[in-house]
Amino acid sequence: MPCVKYWKWKESVEAKVTRNKDGELIMQMVGEDHDFPGFPRGHLLFGKLSKLKHEIKNQVFNYAWKKLEEKTPEKEIVKEIKEDIFNRIFTLAEDTKYDRVPPEKMHRAVKEIYRAWTKIATSERSRQIRDLVTFILQEDDGYRFRVQWIASYFSKWRPIKSFSKSLSMLEQAEVIGDMKDKQKLLKRVLLCILKDPSICRQFFAFYKELDMKKLKLSEADKYHFRGKYFRVDYELFDY
Chain segment 12-54, per-residue pLDDT in tens: 899 999 999 999 999 999 999 999 999 999 999 999 999 999 9
Q: In which element (H, E) is residue 109 found?
A: helix 108-120
Could you read off the pLDDT of 157-215 as tens digits, one per residue? Answer: 789 999 999 999 999 999 999 999 999 999 999 999 999 999 999 999 999 999 999 99
Dist CA 186 CA 216 (whole Å): 20
Could you read off the pLDDT of 111-152 as tens digits, one per residue? Answer: 999 999 999 998 999 999 999 999 999 999 999 999 999 998
- pTM for the predicted model, two decimal places: 0.94
Residue 130 contacts by C-beta under 8 Å, 6 or more apart in sequence?
113, 114, 117, 118, 121
Q: Which amino acid is at 10?
A: K
Place 74 in a pLDDT band, splitting at 50, 70 and 90: very high
